[in-house]
Chain A
Amino acid sequence: MCGIVGLFIKNPKFESELGTMLSTMLDVMTGRGPDSAGFAVYGKGHDGVVKMSIRGGTATDFNAVAADLERATGAALSLTVRSTHAILELPADRESAVRAALHDRHPDLGVVGSGQRIEIYKEVGLPADVARRFDLARMTGTHGIGHTRMATESAVTTAGAHPFSTGPDQCLVHNGSLSNHNVLRRTLIREGIGFTTDNDSEVAAGYLTARLRQGDTLKQALTRSLDALDGFFTFVVGTESGFAVLRDPIACKPAVMAETDDYVAFGSEYRALADLPGIAKAKVWEPEPATVYSWERAA
């Protein structure tokens, strides 16, 4: 149960504003989710280079971790530390080796996401504090998705915070409550999808990853999820080049969208959009139930 925000930049001039806009939107959604917050930002990327978003703790010495991983794998790593998280950039062909070394040698750290462009940050605490500790306001990029969480049944932990990323450059945030996630999780595990929490939303993310792996487009995967997922949901989903919104057919959970020539924005409530530039002249609408809305960046 939560607040969701999302921003997809159409006019490159606004890419430098992405973090500022997203952090304001996130802060406004505190009432809907005071337990934890998180966000994914799609920034710059380089062919053949993977960014791994790694979650540690306040005491984690990421420099030592990176040096150790370099020694263990021989891969050339570059490191950017932001509070409890770090972004490791590494050659794409070394990702599995680095992941394995991280898992074996630093089991207290977790990979919250990876891909060519995605960076994910999430922590327990008030959304404004979370945005501040990671300096979201100064991040830039083409699209971003944020989430404030009021935990329903799963634990209030950093791992339980959204966004959930179960595939390369993919992420999902969810407002609502799924009612068949346990059985679906067991099926997806057999199909090779890994889960790190007991959270229902992670199952939705995993379902989309499984469909994308089998060749679905994002739109096809989301359309299929209407049959596979039972319960109540509003999803905002990000991929390397795409941004999508979907609500369940009953559509109890709120959603508001706004579009101008410069951006497409999503908020659980209009309040989240109220401070965006040019909002007074934006097209503002409520997405229809059981309808996939998606935007793709030109390649």
Chain B
Amino acid sequence: MNFLYFDPAIGAMIVQAIVAAVAGVLLFSKNLLFKIKLFLGIVKTTDKDLFDDIDIEKSDIENKKSSDS
């Protein structure tokens, strides 16, 4: 069954293999950098962020905590 009702975006489907490979490298190097910073003790606290983390359920727990307090 085909639910497609907009632009098929074939190029966008193909290019995602490359985008994902680069994304993987970016995430890996960011994590590595984070671990190094953590090791050196220069990690900035991010609790003043306007926006939550990407995880829906994790932010749910945060929301509950803040509304309880």
Determine if chain A interacts with chain B.
no
